[in-house]
A = this chain, B = another copy of it.
Amino acid sequence: MSDVLSRRNFLRAAGIAGAATVGVASTPAVWAASPAPKADPVHTSHTAASQAAATSADEMDDHHEEGVKIFLENIGKDERFWNNRLPYREEDGVKVFELTCQEIDWEVAVGQTVKAMAFNGSVPGPEIRITEGDQVRIIVHNEMSQSTGIHWHGVIVPNNMDGVPFITQPPIKPGESFTYEFTARNSGSHMYHSHHNAMEQVTRGLLGAFIIDRKDPSKDPQYDADYTIILNDAGIGMTLNGKSFPYTQPILAKLGDKVRIRYMNEGLQIHPMHLHGLEQLVFAKDGWKLPLPYYCDTVNVAPGERYDVLVHCHTPGLWAFHCHILSHAESAHGMFGMVTVMVVEE
């Protein structure tokens, strides 16, 4: 998506950078598109607040503003955030993927580095993307100092491919490899992650999206763009796709677009994801199509769950998009953690 809207154009469209700097209620391009209110918003002095309070309020506002400015300046600078698909090679009709588990330093935000465990150097690991009926082989190399085992969460596999050490396979010891192989039977938004010392390994980053596209896409709703948001909270802190606001990336859409969003929770807490201004049509849970979709604005995602929603971008603007457990999203020093923005351009 990031090529449909250059950062420069985006900032001009939004008019936010300027507005934020001068601190007045100007009417940037993207706002002007909204049905004009009968009376323009006015911003008038009401009572004489004490100078002390004003100073303190100004300091807090400066922190908030700084976060938003960093977010806007960072747009497009992390291609990996939305687009990190694992390449594969074909061997005799089998799609062959390779994953390497390593202990790495991961930057959840500039200046905030955590001791992570990662697939192929990324948190989350790269997305594995296949189609119903595909035969896949996934070779897992363990370069960590702990053993591991990889579970294909939600994917129907033969039992010996399920990845639970001492239940379905021996652990993959440090320095060893293990090959998983199966045929993709159930389409949908699934996940892969460690299933060994998982309380540590998953929360520190050994996780990724495992998406099985339908053979017949007409069974899914039609959409113009497709995003995955992986929620995490424990080992690497409050993050969307491994990053904490302001280092998350926005969803960039055009007026009229239908955007598919896949929520996946790999954390230890629920995360009710609230999108401003645009309703969400929930049409699948855990990769399984719901018998009847339903509308909402807040999708409560529990650990292990996935939800697929469709957002019709009917109103232009910059729509805040965040976990509604406010302690996961904002402090007196500004927004952080599980926050991003959905931008709808005219």
Are A147 and B60 in touch, CB under 8 angstroms? yes
Given A64-B196, A159-B316, 14 extra CB contacts under 8 A: A20-B170, A24-B170, A34-B160, A35-B182, A43-B177, A43-B178, A61-B147, A61-B165, A64-B165, A159-B317, A199-B326, A199-B329, A199-B332, A203-B326
Are A41 and B180 in touch, CB under 8 angstroms? yes
Q: Mark A186-214, 1 if CB is under 8 A from B, else 0.
A: 10000000011111101100000000000
Q: Closest B-chain residue to A145, C-beta based?
A: B53
Are A286 and B304 in touch, CB under 8 angstroms? no
Which chain B residues border A67 with CB–CB below 8 Å? 166
Known: A167-B320, A270-B270, A317-B158. A285 touches B290 (CB 8 A): no
Which chain B residues border A172 with CB–CB below 8 Å? 43
Q: Which of B65, B277, B290, B330 is the one whose CB lies under 8 Å from A157? A: B277
Which chain B residues border A319 with CB–CB below 8 Å? 159, 162
Alpha-carbon gap, A49 to B146, bound state (A): 10
Are A315 and B159 in touch, CB under 8 angstroms? yes
Let me know if A38 is at the binding interface, CB within 8 A.
yes
Q: Mark A292-328, 1 if CB is under 8 A from B, else 0.
A: 1111111010111100000000011111100011110
